[in-house]
Each structure stands twice: as C-alpha cells, then as structure tokens.
Structure 1
Amino acid sequence: MRIPTFTDALQARRVLHDRLTPTPMWSYPGLDAVLGANVHVKHENVQPVGAFKVRGGITLLSSMSEEHRRRGVVSYSTGNHAQSVAYAARIFGVPCCIVMPERANPEKVRAVRALGSDVVLEGATVDECSSVAVRVAGERGMRLVQPDEPELIAGVSTCYMEIFERVPDLDAVVVPVGSGTGAAAACLMAAAMAPRCRVIAVQSEASPAGHESFRQGKCVSHSNRTVAEGLATGRGFVLPQEIVRGKLSDFLLVSDAAIRSAQRLMMTHAHTMAEGAGAAAVAAVLARPDLFADRKIAVVCSGGNASAAEMAEVLVAPSPAESAKKRAVAVEGGLSAEMRVEHA
C-alpha cells in the first residue's frame, strides 16, 4: 500500500469540510496542575460517532468507485472503526456489514445497527473477526475495508492538521495506538507542519502488539487482553508501522489500571467522558513525568464511547494522588523488607 502524503491530507480536509466541523482543543488549569505540564486536549470524543476514526471512514468511502459502492463494504472492529465505516456508508448510501467480536460493547453494536449497517457477531477477538470479514466479503461480493488503508490515514491526518494549526509550537503530541493509524497520521503531519514536535505513541501493556512491532522492526502478533477496546489489537499493521518507523520519538506502554485512573482524571479535571483508548495519552503523561514536565503538549482524546460498565469501573478507580500514595507505600514496604534482610 502507498504511503499517504500531505496533499492527500489536504484533499481529505476538503472532503470533510462540509461533513465534519473541526473538533475543539482546550486546556484545563486543574489538569495541568496534576500532570505538571501545559496540556492541550484534542476532543475527538465529540465527533458524531464519538471517535476520531469517522474522519477516515468518510474519506475512504468518498474515494471509492461507483462499482464498489454498489457492491457495498464489509469491515471488522471492536467498535469505533465500525461506527466510522457505518456512518460513512449511511452518508453515501452504501450497503455495509460490520463483523464485531461476540462479546463486543453492546452500546457500540447498537450504534452500528442504528446507522443502518448489518452486524455479524462472530469471533472472540478483533483479529478473529478479520478472518470472518474476509469470508463475508467473498460470500456477499462486498469490498473489504482494512483498518489501515491509506485513505483512512489521510482522513485521520486532518485531526493533526487541526492540532498543529491551533498550537504550532508544541513540544510533543501523545497518541494512543490500536491499529496505529493515529500515530501514523501524527508522524506525517508533524514532519510537514511541526518538525520540532515529538510524536509519542502509547499502548496498553496488556495488548502491546503495536509496541513490539515497532521495537522489532517488523509486524508481530502478541497477547491481547486489554480492557481498553480501542487499543485491543493482537497484531501490528503493516502500513502504520512502515510510516512510524524512524519517525516516532518514543513508544510507551501503560497499564490498564493507569488508563482507568486517567479516565477518572479526565472526568474530574477536564469535564470529559473518555473511553479507555481516549484516556491512554493522559495515562502516559502521568506515568512518565520525566518526559513531559513543564512541556507544552497535546493529548488526543481519541474517543468517548465508554459503556455503562466501563464508566462504573472508572468511578471506583483510584485517583492519581491515591495511586502515587499506594506506590510510595509499596516502595517503603519493600525497602523495609530489604533492610530487615540486610540486618538479619
């Protein structure tokens, strides 16, 4: 697959101009105080499907031939990419089928069906769903949409165009990674618009396929156990990995517990309901103050499609202060144990 260009992103912006308005990017003094940095939150959670991926879905379907539109499209997703493709299919009047995991977020399943798309619930993980989608595409004669196509990345790039136009002197932008389209788009736009800005990716340590693919220099599969649906991919994706290689400044891993704490912080200090993936960037800033202290940074709240069960977990998650206190107690306890061994 070809690597999208800055010109592709400009063309995508023209496509999206009459269909999506630029999303807000705000700072919150209370959030800055906790994170120890000047933080600009890009609110992709307010998109019409509650996530950034809608930019890519519309861009892709706008570029499709009339033949492919008549045949329809099929794709696979845990939810946000699903809603993106379904939303775009509704706009262009294209038949659409989405394959989702058997235990997919019921709110996201309902949302996809409400957009008029057929939903096939088959497979335990999104990676198993990919095989089902290939089968369904063959059976129905539909065009298979992969989650990392060039047009999708070009559409997502418009998010980072807006970020760098709004705050051109950023020190860093922190991007959550599932398939990696967001990180790829950020790298492309930073190179063209803000070459001094560091692009830092973040993924759950419970589903580190993207991270491990980046570190090893090739796409690999890995365990996939994260509770953050938008980060739940069990393999690296070729095109995003090709784009970010040599361009990312760093690729961090955070725990699911840290993501839940970050979701709570977003709720209490930024008036924002963020799903797990949408809070991952804040979790990274919390986890690595050495990288971000006193810096001007952007964090991408990539989505806000949290289920009721997820939000219930967020409400009981420890605050950053509580988490820090627990870590301090654990360290103190460990040191005490070591001292007892030394003096025994």
Structure 2
Amino acid sequence: MSHQLNQSKLNQLNEAAQLIYEVLPPTPALAWPGLNGALGAKLWVKHENHLPTGAFKVRGGLVYVDRLLKTQSVTGLCAATRGNHGQSIAFAAARQGLKAVIVVPKGNNPDKNQAMIALGAQLIEYGEDFDESVAHARTYAEAEGLHLVPSFHEDLVLGVATYAYELLTKVPALTKIYVPIGLGSGICGVLFAKAALGHGVEVIGVVADAFKTYPRSLHAGEPILTEPADSIADGLAVRLANPQALAMIKKGVSRIVAVGEKALLGAIGELAKHTDNLVEGAGAASLAAAFLERDTHARNDQIGIVASGGNLEAKVLAQALAL
C-alpha cells in the first residue's frame, strides 16, 4: 500500500543526497541468488558496507557537519561511539579541516579504533560501555571548547535517510525492510524516507537479545536503562533509549525482533558465503531477523536489509564460518 508523498521531506532528502554525492557515490542494492534461495523470498541487500567508512552513518556525519558550519563557528568536534558514528564524524571533520576527538569505551573493537585514527581522529578510551563514554565526551568537549556531536540528531537522521531513499526508489515494490536499532538514527532515517516517498513498506526493527533496550522502553512507555551486557553486535550495544527516537519508533515501526548471538554469527556467515562481503555483527542483524521470520514471508514478498559496518574482527569471522 502506498500513501501520499511528503514534498517538504522529499525536498530535504534531495538536498541532503546532493551534498553527499559530492563526496560519496550511491551504494548498490543487490539481490543475491544464494540468499534468495536460503530465505525463500526475494531479498535486496543495501550495501552500505561499500562506503569508505563501511557504514551508512557517514551520510549523517556529512549532513550534520555541513549544516553545523552554516550556523556556527567551531574549531573541533567531539563524539562518543563504538565505531561507526566516530568514523562518520572523523570523516566529515577531516573534509572540513576540523579537529575530531572520539571517545570509545575500554576494550572497543581495535579495528574500529584504528580506522578512526586513520581518518585523523584523536582517540580517547574511557568507560566500561558506550553510555559511560557519552558522559565523558560531554565533559571533555565542554572543558576543551569542542562542539559535542550527539549520537542522535535530526540532521544525522536526514543524512542516513538517503540510503533508504535510494533503496525505496530502486525497489518500489519492497514490502518489508528489516533495520537494526542502535541508538536509532538508522531506523528513524528509514521512517523519514518512507514518509517522504509515501511508501507503504513495513519497517521492522532489529535488536540484539543482549540489548532489548528499545522493546523494553516501548513496553514501559518511556526510556529505561538496561543492564550491562555483551554482544558481537557492538553497534547495537545501547543501554538507554533516545526519547526522540523512541517516539518515532513507536509511531512507525510494526514490531521489533530480537536476535541471539548464534543467529548473528549465522547471518555473518551467510553474507560471506553468498555475497563475498564481510559484515560486522550489527550490520548482519537485519539478515538474522529476516531468517528468524522466514516462515512468515509470502512468496511475493520483496524484503530489504541493510549490510552496514565492515569492521569485522577475525575471531568473530572464524566463529561464523565454523557454524
């Protein structure tokens, strides 16, 4: 079912897309025969892992920093991350000649740390998890006179919405799209693009079993802080829901699927086997959910997933291929 397009949102998307295309090309959306056969339905993979940072968040970083510099004079940026948001901000900062300081939790993925350093960022390790890193980034930015980049903001959402815009315009017959939820910019971007285009696609959220922050917050009717945990899907390791994202998810997402560690490893392996792409745990979560719900897919369904986050640790890949 389709709905009336929203011209205002569509204009914003087109403007954001043109900015991004000055720096990055659109990414492919491909239907891989092996995955189609394994799932029993037509599956479209949006390959955001083909971007230079390996993830869709760089789109948001480019739009956020561009809009920031049109309204403020800043000397540098500071952000907290588990990896992909930090790479996004480091990439956008380097393009504008700005200093970037990125705060990550202790024991963060070393490959993501090196990727941020390679983009010119100063890296600070602080805290036992993402939320402790956020608190330190706020304090550090204030002390050093840096602009604190939030992990969720309407300009970040607008930027990442361009990947969904590309997918929905290439595959207008898409019936379902599975979207991983970290803090929420990705899935809110999908909802923005859906509204802009008046598309009727069903949007299904995906979280890690270890981090059911958004399902539990939706049930409680407010953001709640969940207990510390671990997951190979570190991009989904968020313990406190963002209120704005929570409201958008409540309004526009049909349901949220939780996937376990074995399912995540299985999805990483399937992507490697059938597409020759290496995708990290958070980026494979949408495929894991699509497989989990395979019995619900109709023969005429066209299903979308996003492959995002290419910083896959060797030990995790070995576990995935051993299944």
Answer yes or no: same fold by TM over 0.5: yes
Of structures 1 and 2, the one scoring higher in RCO (CA 8 A, sep 6+) is 2
Number of the residue aligned with 2:246:
241
Contact 1:68 1:142 in 2 (8 A): no
Contact 1:56–1:154 (CA under 8 A) maintained in structure 2: yes
**Residues 74 and 147 of structure 2 are in contact (CA less than 8 Å); yes or no, is this contact kept in structure 1?**
no
Q: Alignment partner for residue 143 of structure 1, among 141, 147, 153?
A: 147
- In the alignment, what sits opposite 1:305? 311
Shift of 1:30: 1.1
Are the structure 2 counterparts of residues 245 and 6 from structure 1 closer, same or farther at C-alpha, using a change threshold of 3 Å? farther
Indicate if the aligned counterparts of 1:78 and 1:100 stay in contact, CA closer than 8 A. yes
Q: Is the 8 A contact 1:69 1:94 kept in 2?
A: no
Deviation at 1:70, TM superposition (A): 3.3
* 8 Å contact kept, 1:157–1:188: yes
Q: Work out the CA distance in 1 between the residues paired with 2:296 and 2:134.
A: 36
The alpha carbon displacement at 1:233 in A equals 0.8
Alpha-carbon distance between aligned partners in 2 of 1:183 and 1:167, rounded to the nearest angstrom: 18
Q: What residue is the counterpart of 1:103 in the other structure?
A: 107
Q: How far apart are 1:67 and its partner, in Å?
A: 7.9
> Any residues of structure 2 matched to 1:64-213 within 5 Å, and which?
64-65=68-69, 68=72, 70-213=74-217
Report the TM-score, using the length of structure 2 for normalisation.
Answer: 0.93
SS at match of 1:253: strand
Q: What is the CA distance between 1:239 and its match in structure 2?
A: 2.0
Deviations 1:280-330 (A, max 9, x none): 0110011112332421111111221112222222222x2xxxxxxxxxxxx
Matches within 5 A, 1:43-62: 43-62=47-66
AA aligned to 2:219 is: R
User: TM-score if structure 1 supplies the norm length?
Assistant: 0.88
C-alpha separation in 2, matches of 1:315 and 1:139: 46
Task: Kindly state the Cα deviation for residue 126 of structure 1 after the two structures are TM-superposed.
Answer: 0.5
Residue 208 of structure 1: how far off its partner (Å): 1.1
How many Å apart are 1:194 and its aligned residue?
A: 4.6
Q: For the residues of structure 1 that align with 2:119 and 2:39, how far apart are their CA atoms?
A: 38
Give the number of equivalent residue pairs: 314
Q: Would the aligned equivalents of 1:266 and 1:272 in 2 still touch at CA under 8 Å?
A: yes
Structure 2 regions of 5+ residues with no counterpart?
Answer: 1-7
Are the counterparts in 2 of residues 23 and 47 from structure 1 also a CA contact under 8 Å?
yes
Other-structure match for 2:320: 314
What is the alpha-carbon distance in structure 2 between the residues aligned to residue 211 and residue 82 of structure 1?
A: 25
Give the Cα–Cα distance (whole angstroms) in 2 for the partners of residues 217 and 69 of structure 1.
38
Instruction: State the Cα distance separating 1:38 from its structure 2 match.
Output: 0.3
Secondary structure of the equivalent of 2:142?
Answer: helix
Change (3 A) 1:94 1:67: farther
Task: Tell me the SS of whatever aligns to 1:19.
Answer: coil
Q: Secondary structure at the match of 1:65?
A: helix
**Cα distance in structure 2, aligned partners of 1:221 and 1:6:** 35
- Displacement of 1:113: 0.9
Q: CA deviation at 1:249?
A: 1.3
Structure 1: state its 5+ residue gaps: 319-344
Q: Residue 263 of structure 2 aligns with which residue?
A: 258
For residue 154 of structure 1, report the CA deviation from its aligned partner.
0.3
- Separation (CA, whole Å) in 2 of partners of 1:283 and 1:211: 17
Q: Which amino acid aligns with 1:243?
A: M
- Tell me, yes or no, if the aligned pair for 1:168 and 1:194 is still in contact at 8 Å: no
1:175-208 per-residue CA deviation (whole Å, 9 max, x = no partner) reads 0111111111111211232532100110101111
User: Residue by residue, what CA displacement relative to the aligned partner does 1:52-106 show, whole Å, maximum 9, x if unpaired?
Assistant: 1000001101111368553311000000001000000000111110000110111
Larger Rg: 1
